[in-house]
Chain A
Amino acid sequence: MAEMQERGMNERIRKLRKQSVETQPHIYMERAVLETEAYKKYEGTVSVPELRALVLKHFFSNKKLYIGDGELIVGEKGDYPQSSPTFPELCCHTLEDMHNMNDRKVVNFSVTESDLKTQEEQIIPYWENRSMRHKILNSMTDEWKEAYAAGIFTEFMEQRGPGHTVGSVKIFEKGYLDYQHDIQEALAKLDYIHDPEALDKRNQLNAMSICCDAIMILGKRYADLARQMAAECTDEQRKKELLQIAANCDVVPAHKPQTYYQAIQHYWFTHLAVTTELNPWDAYSPGHFDQHLGPFYAKDVEDGILTRDQALELMECLWVKFYNQPAPPKVGITLKESSTYTDFANINTGGITPDGEDGVNEVSYIILDCMDEMQLVQPNSNVQISKKNPRKFLKRACEIARKGWGQPAFYNTEAIVQELMNAGKSLEDARKGGCSGCVETGAFGNEAYILQGYFNLPKIFELTLFNGVDPMTGKQLGLQTGDPRDFKTFDELWDAYTKQINYFLDIKVRGSNVIEALYARYMPVPFLSILTNDCIARGKDYNAGGARYNTSVIQGVGTGTISDCLAAIKYNVYDNQNFTMDEILTAMKDNFEGHERILNLVRNKTPKYGNDDDYADNLMKKVFNYFVDNVSARPNTRGGMFRVDMLPTTCHVYFGDVMIASPNGRLAHKPVSEGISPEKGADVNGPTAVIKSCAKMDHLRTGGTLLNQKFTPEVLAGEEGLDNLADLIRAYFDMDGHHIQFNVVGRQTLRDAQQKPEEYKDLIVRVAGYSDYFRNLDRPLQDEIIDRTEQDFGCC
């Protein structure tokens, strides 16, 4: 714990970091109150996009400001670090929700009596029946609701806005006055004679212009506050710093940043505007931050106004800022499936430049040093590894990863570029792209790639085995594809499974299309639209197809489990007649109690995914290819296509909880496999075999895959351990693997941490596409992480 409080390169950073990690997260009501005021004032008098822009402007004009002692980068979403605004226009919390937030065992948000009173008297009466959640749930069919309740899929936008995009170099090239100018030009070009959408475009562009005003007002207010604090400040050093802050805020966000320092401050204002305009999943990130800052850094160093240490200090100040913002509280099923409260600001370091050169510069190493020093779960830092990057960069990243707190994750630049091009992006846009959220590939600054929800592949197989009936409830949820005991061949079973998959995909996609249309109509995001090409040129909102590329993503979950289930039945029922279909169905219903022989066969004597064994791996490919083939071709409402990701975040725990035992020996309610990792305990041949199995999936057809590997520290010790780790990553990437990340910690350590959480307060583990404090995870997720096969190889 002591170490945890004291990280940071100097006293200033250590103090700021300590304040950030020790402050109790709390609910911040001011945004909801000001938003309600704005709606009451403007709704019905202006268009919907203008209304949304006026909400942002009203909020930034009136919210309480905060400049903390010692801060060099300023701006908070709320009135203090760790304050979490609510978004009643998306999801209006009930009083019971508010009590739950306050009383949760893990990551609670304190809610005061006065907050409850405000919620009850001002927020609920206005928003209860107006929220997007209300609109969405009212628009869904009974089939959708039943499948949703049964845990066949989740829905991302039921309580958070469509997010999932990342900033590009665009942010750093212009100020918001410049954008306002661009918007005016677009307005001047509108063709009211031939274009029937001209009025809608005008409204949208007006809204974007209001948003420019909003962020400039925020900047101006911060400049004034800093100046006022400087006037009252008796400490000469701090006075100077405050005046520098004021001077920065005179330039940004209105104008293009002139220095490295201003560029960081400019980004931070932008970040606040994107994440308070609406509550988007996977909070915004600056993308290729090292490449964007590189020229500012080089110039300032040459001009003699910046040292490397100062650059690092400013970066560490920004890290604290990210960490100050907890993700907004969720409710219901979404709370259950995502029990973690960090946001996902995923900064990409390394990779290649838009013209295909090595993208690593000195700022890349500054970011790695910052990550290493700060050890904070936000921002969620990763490295993009290209074959063009120096090995020094890869090894420095490995050196940090080896410390065992889960960052950085490793992404394969060459795979990302091919994935994006395969999805229709230009070469240059693909090179500018990267990963956000957990592992999701996107064309930064050019794409709205909206996550629609997780899709429970093993659950659908479970329904297939019971002729469409959910064995948990006895309800007929799926199609009646026949009693599998009558199937003569594996192919008959497979055909039934594919029918069920398509049936549920249809339900999911129909729902998603309605939800996207609802957002386009009621919840545009004019601020985010300013920053996303080509929303200004098209006069269209990010949520309505304004972006250059518009993708909808469904995340397949349970790859390892479903592959092993298919292998268990194909191998034992059809190929070797070790038992009958009736026997395995009975064993599943009995949770394998009294069926030890069958359990032994399916657990220990059947080929399993994750061992570089083609029997099982080919079944994985069959499942994966079918899923991709039948998702990828579907059009969405925004002129784009559906795509797949293979990642679970923490949803594999929830998806396992809604299932009885599976044919592969997974017991009832236990988590399904996560990401594209093998089922827990199924991989017995070490990390190279896991990687080989995973690489048989065609990653380039996805928008991202997630692979966890856990090592004990001993395996990675010394210079050789580092080299072996680097080579393992390179080999996986040569095989087109998309992403790999590491937990480096002994099983015993995790067990101890579970017993004595107070002694392991700063133990961070890689969960899915992000790291979190082990103590913050609920028990099943902790157990799940402990159970993930630990790759430990002593010398023989």
Chain B
Amino acid sequence: MSTPLIFNIQKYSIHDGEGIRDTVFFKGCPIACQWCHNPESQSYHPDLMYYQDRCTGCGACIRACPNKAVSYREDHKVVTDRTLCNVCGTCTDYCVFNAREVAGKEYEIDELVRILDKDRMFYEQSGGGITLSGGEVLAQDIDYVEELTRRLYERGYSVDIDTCGEVPYEHIKRVLPYVDTFLYDIKLLDPELHKKYTGVDNRLILENLKKLSADGGKINIRLPLITGVNATDEYIQEVIDFLHDNQISVYRVNLLKYHDTGRGKYAKLEREYDNSEMAVPDQEWLDRAVAAFKQSGYQNIHIGG
């Protein structure tokens, strides 16, 4: 069993499932959505994050780097040559201003369970629990994930899995007995467009969704909605038809309004972020989308997480 990387354990998480939850973000994802607001979640390896707004340009990192990957640009801004950097983290030890950190840390199951146990009072009081997210949790070592979900389940916690669905169905099946709710994303229904925006077509994703429904999984459909990509009346109708035609049993639907708060994170990875095609859908349209779902018999509809 290999130990996956985790890039964040978010406490008082109130947008990823019911009640007050701890959300565990696993690092590494089989798809790469253009609108992804956690770009550090995509790679299965540690990433160096650089917070330019905190950096004073003191140069401590430049002196500390054993690989000479950090240097001053002509305008005295600090830059990291990502081809030379092997994410050893030495520079983070020397940065007084917390402007450099490494995203991605291994947690043994025992340690992770111990951390998650700490918030038991909040789960129990609020009907919350733990959400395993990412990246893609089901794309990690499945022995680890199964063991983790089983241990949490046995402690009486609600465990939700936030998934993109681009994983072997076997992985879903193995955690199914221990999972409360699957937060299941549908990004686009057209396979070509899906491929264009995420790097893969949606065949496996939609097949898995049908199987999960047939196997009795509790499903919370989550629809990221982006003007310029999929925020149209036609797309909403397509989704409704798809759910209906395939008799997907839906517990709840969340309409997730695109936001570009991820922009800063691309900068921290010193990566380009192109959102020229994407915009935030307006409230009026979102209300219309909610109404369309309700008219088709889906009553548990929410805007936001």
Contact = CB atoms under 8 A, between A and B. Distances in A.
Contacts of B305: 795
Contact of B12 (A603, A687, A734): A687
Nearest to B302: A720
A791 B11 CA distance: 11
Contacts of A721: 14
Interface residues of B, number: 35
B15 A795 contact: yes
A720 B17 CA distance: 11
Given A612-B118, A731-B121, A795-B304, A686 B12 contact: yes
Interface in A667-697: 685-689, 692
B58 interface: yes
Given A604-B98, A688-B119, A730 B125 contact: yes
Nearest to B9: A685
Interface string B2-41: 0000001011111110011001010000000000011000
Contacts of B12: 686-688, 724, 728, 791, 793
Interface string A56-88: 000000000000000000000000000000000
B60 interface: yes
B126 A724 contact: yes
B96 interface: yes
Contacts of B16: 795-796
B95 interface: yes
A728 B13 contact: no
Nearest to B257: A795
A44 interface: no
B96 A603 contact: yes
B283 interface: no
A689 B11 contact: yes
Contact of A600 (B94, B118, B119): B94
Interface in A692-747: 692, 715, 720-721, 723-724, 727-728, 730-731, 734-735
A734 B121 CA distance: 8
B261 A794 contact: yes
B273 interface: no
Contacts of B133: 796
A727 B96 contact: no
A793 B93 contact: no
B122 interface: yes
A521 interface: no
Contact of B10 (A724, A728, A796): A796
Interface string A540-552: 0000000000000
B122 A731 contact: yes
Contacts of A416: none
A728 B122 contact: yes
A756 interface: no
Nearest to B256: A795
A597 interface: yes
B8 A734 contact: no
B14 A724 contact: yes
A612 B133 CA distance: 22
B13 A596 contact: no
Contact of B14 (A599, A692, A720, A734): A720
A591 to B, nearest CB: 14
A613 to B, nearest CB: 10
Contacts of A724: 12, 14, 19-20, 126
A715 B13 CA distance: 10
Contacts of B95: 600, 604
A794 B94 CA distance: 29
Contacts of A734: 121, 125
Contact of B96 (A596, A692, A795): A596
Interface in B183-202: none
Interface string A759-796: 00000000000000000000000000000000101111
A604 B305 CA distance: 31
B20 A688 contact: yes
Contacts of B124: 731
A796 B24 CA distance: 10
Interface string B266-305: 0000000000000000000000000000000000000011
20 contacts: A597-B96, A600-B93, A600-B96, A603-B98, A686-B11, A688-B119, A689-B11, A721-B14, A724-B126, A727-B126, A728-B122, A728-B125, A731-B20, A731-B121, A731-B124, A734-B125, A793-B15, A794-B15, A795-B304, A796-B23
